């Protein structure tokens, strides 16, 4: 099916989380039984020409920086923590002021598959932009809600501490120190310690995607990516820092993760989204 090979959880990193004392995420036996019966996969189908960003439940899942065409299907189960109402936000960026004709270049649909190998798909939400509100704007944000029914429940960032209540300078310093530590791990090729950082993210994604082999395959690629990055990491650019409620992220001046290296064939990014599980606890990678 089209979703295979397109799991974009940021495990990868090419943008788009944890620690939790290396504890594995546990789920109830009843939920495991349900997983064997129904395995819905939610995704966003994109057919667009232009720059845009997509957020699901506050998590940035995809960012397209230029005017080139983008045709992609983005699985989003990893950002759906449990059944219920979910939030989708899309930001459009225009070099000129947005017009009715330019809006026709953007097509976003929330769809549901019955499983990774299922050809059956239905449209859950067609994302139609408000022409009057978006008119003559260079940047336009619109939100939609949709209902998702999944046979699992993960904690994610539900109970995380509100970072808005913290001193921003102290928070920024903590995030920067985390990135410097992680930069050293990657640049030294230390996969074992790196995995400890992303373990919770990996475990929750396994649950959200029903222990799919694709999740494990993508995750296994990380070890090779760490080895490839050894000694090649660029100096960190701490240009942009965002903290909105329970989540925080650090980006370079172009909106990418500052953890990056380059080979003759490609540029690779290691991205994180942070949360604080409780007051006084250290920041953890959550997605």
What global pTM score does this model have?
Answer: 0.81
- 181 versus 37: the higher-pLDDT residue is 181
Q: Is a pLDDT exceeding 60 seen at residue 34?
A: no
pLDDT of 197 reads: 94
What pLDDT was estimated at residue 240? 76
Backbone angles phi, psi at 124, to 5 degrees: -90, -40
107-134, pLDDT tens digit by residue?
999 999 998 778 889 999 999 999 999 9
**pLDDT band at residue 67, thresholds of 50, 70 and 90?**
confident
The 10 Å CB-count burial string (b at 16+, else e) for 115-127 is ebeeeebeebbeb
Confidence of residue 242 (pLDDT cuts 50, 70, 90): confident
What pLDDT is recorded for position 11? 34
Indicate the burial class of 165 (C-beta count within 10 angstroms; 0-12, 13-18, 19 or more).
exposed
| C-alpha separations of 145 from 56, 78, 124, 247, 276 in Å | 10, 17, 10, 20, 26
- Report the C-alpha gap between 163 and 212 in whole angstroms: 33
pLDDT over 80 (residue 101) = yes
pLDDT value of position 15: 39
Spatial CB neighbours of 94, under 8 Å, sequence gap ≥ 6 = 50, 51, 102, 137, 138, 139, 140
For residue 164, the SS3 value is: helix
Tell me the per-residue pLDDT of 174-231, one tens digit each, with 9 for 90 and over.
Answer: 999 999 999 999 999 999 999 999 999 999 999 999 998 888 888 788 989 999 999 9
Q: Which residue has the higher pLDDT, 243 or 143?
A: 143
Q: Report the interhelical angle of 213-229 vs 168-187 (nearest 10°).
A: 80
CB-count burial class (<10 Å; 0-12, 13-18, 19+) for 172: middle
Task: Tell me the per-residue pLDDT of 149-164, one tens digit each, with 9 for 90 and over.
Answer: 999 999 999 989 999 8
Given a cut of 80, is residue 44 above it in pLDDT? yes
Rounded (5°) CA angle 81-12-68: 100
Q: At what angle do helices 191-208 and 168-187 cross, to 10 degrees?
A: 110
Contact at 8 Å (CB) between 245 and 58?
yes
Q: Are strands 284-285 and 59-64 parallel, antiparallel or unpaired?
A: unpaired
Per-residue pLDDT, 2: 39
CA 9 to chain CA centroid, Å, is 5
pLDDT digits (tens, 9 = 90+) for 217-236: 887 889 899 999 999 999 98
| Cα three-residue angle 46-48-53, rounded to 5 degrees | 70
């Amino acid at each position: 099916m089209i979703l295979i090979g397109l799991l974009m959880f940021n495990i990868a990193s090419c943008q788009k989380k944890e620690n939790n004392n290396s504890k594995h995420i546990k789920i109830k036996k009843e939920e495991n039984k349900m997983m064997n019966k129904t395995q819905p996969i939610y995704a966003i189908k994109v057919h667009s020409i232009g720059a845009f960003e997509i957020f699901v439940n506050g998590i940035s899942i995809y960012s397209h920086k230029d005017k080139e065409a983008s045709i992609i299907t983005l699985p989003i189960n990893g950002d759906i923590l449990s059944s219920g109402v979910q939030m989708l936000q899309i930001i459009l960026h225009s070099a000129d002021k947005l017009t009715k004709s330019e809006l026709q270049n953007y097509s976003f649909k929330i769809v549901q598959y019955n499983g990774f190998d299922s050809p059956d798909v239905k449209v859950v939400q067609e994302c139609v932009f408000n022409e009057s509100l978006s008119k003559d704007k260079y940047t336009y944000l619109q939100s939609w809600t949709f209902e998702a029914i999944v046979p699992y429940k993960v904690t994610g960032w539900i109970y995380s501490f509100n970072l808005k209540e913290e001193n921003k300078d102290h928070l920024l310093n903590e995030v920067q120190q985390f990135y410097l530590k992680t930069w050293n791990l990657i640049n030294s090729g230390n996969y074992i310690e790196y995995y400890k950082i992303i373990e919770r993210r990996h475990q929750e994604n396994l649950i959200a995607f029903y222990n799919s082999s694709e999740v494990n395959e993508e995750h296994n690629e990380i070890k090779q990516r760490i080895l490839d990055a050894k000694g090649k990491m660029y100096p960190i650019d701490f240009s942009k820092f965002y903290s909105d409620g329970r989540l925080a992220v650090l980006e370079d001046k172009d909106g990418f993760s500052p953890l990056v290296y380059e080979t003759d064939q490609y540029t690779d990014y290691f991205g994180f989204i942070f949360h604080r599980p409780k007051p006084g606890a250290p920041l953890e990678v959550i997605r």
